[in-house]
Structure 1
Amino acid sequence: MDKSDVAILHHLLDNCRESDRQIGTKIGISGAAVKSRIDKMIKNQTIENFTLKIEPPVLGYNILYIVTTGQDINEILKQVELVGEPFLLVPCVGGVTVCGIVVRENVSQKIELAKSLMKDVRLLSIFEAENPGVRSDLTKTDVDIIDQLLKEPRMKIEDLAKKTKLSTKTIARSLKKLQSDEAIQFTTIYDPAKFGQYIPFAVLVWIDGNMEETLKSLKKGFSDSFLQKPFLAKNQVVLFLFSNNIFELDNITQKIRKVNGVASADLFIPKKISFPQKWVTNAIKAAKASEKLHLAYQTN
């Protein structure tokens, strides 16, 4: 990969529905060159697939994060599924695994249950990611469209219209709404091992100051190294970055820890990233069966 590939991936991670021409205009190359590079990244599996990342509270769920070490990922999954459904799985360098779990209710009880079930697993951390207040207003029409987009997030408007039996005008209006919704992200799954000279990494930042001001400082200081938009919770920010080498990676992490409002920052170098979709499929199925026009929004 070179700098242009990373720039293209950056845009696809933030919005995989962005056109080749739009990406090319932003990074200074032709749309045809962007398409060629995307095709190359798909062929060599740097890009594994395109996907939707939907914030679980929008579909009535809360989120727990579990950080473990020294355990096989399949064994972790077996125990995780006794508590809730996996939302995010990231095995990292050093034997650490970060796992996001969606649960319906009784979050504190689910945390205690997880601790009890995983007593043979070395838990580094377990916590609830409180929602930062991002709201959504999905209608049944939006849900029908999302149901199709889960299968192919880059599906063309004309194909979506055929699949859903909705007009192209309705599809276009809904897509515009979904793409501007902070709770829904059209994104990309990539293989961190295929970055060549670059090192993708994540920093989990705990905030003890004003979230908005701290996030502004983090963007100002480190946006040139952002691989994609940060994930936000009430008092946590996950920064996805890339560096040219291990020394630069360490330097960036140390600087993040010194930002005003940052209580602590933990570094993770992912070996694999996945967003299991079973929970979304089940939630969408339930939403489509509901008689309500709008989805109920879950708050903590």
Structure 2
Amino acid sequence: MFFYVSKIFWMIAAPSTLLPLIALAGLAVSLRWRRLGMTLATLGVVGLLLIGLGPFGRMLLVPLEGRFPPYSEDGRRVDGIVVLGGSELPGISAARGQPSFQESAERILAMGELARRYPQARIVVAGGSGRLGESPMQEADVVRMALPQIGLAEERVTFETASRNTEENARLAKALVKPGPDENWLLVTSAYHMPRAVGCFRAAGFPVTAYPVDFRTTGNPGYFRLFSSVAEGLGFFELALREWIGLSVYYFTGRIGSPLPGPQPG
């Protein structure tokens, strides 16, 4: 139920959907109540422009991406690597017959690089499908298609194909690999998503070391730097807003133990 509610909520609450709906509703209302209708229409249009051109999306992403520093060797043995799905485009992959990915494809590139750096490490790709309806391919199938392109043999990779969100990624990955208490596992996901992902793995009893990739900002919020287009700014804002909402919901429903998980001391 949680999965379906979250998906339906975001379909409506995403600013690129909600604000145009408010503007259109305002135009309709103005036919009878002009002042109220024009107020709503103005709110929708001005909101789109402010969010799309202003620095707000960048400002919201920077603290998420800065929560965990880039990974550096600490001398510990790496026993395993968990790569979270979500970068795949199953529909396009199925239609075109070749693996297709969105911006977070760095997760797959990092998997190939880490597999070569740590040849003894177990590798797990966690992720089934985050779609409401049926998908023509699973995320795992897209990754399988891409393995030859990154020089990684399929027998080295274990696929967890049932999870639909981050909480299920952590819980089902732990059940699949059964990590030992002294093992060191790297978690590969987008930097903005790392706080929620690490929080879920901790809650599942699966301690991991963060390996953030797919950075979207330089670390500078750029308070006075506008985006070049409304579409670009909206993309940043929705990415950040969705993650902040996810953190809040996961925290208040007990799926993570901290409102903004971060590195543990030591």
Q: TM-score, normalised by structure 2?
A: 0.26
Structure that is richer in strand per residue: 1
Q: Could you tell me the TM-score, scaled by structure 1's length?
A: 0.23
Rg bigger for which structure?
2
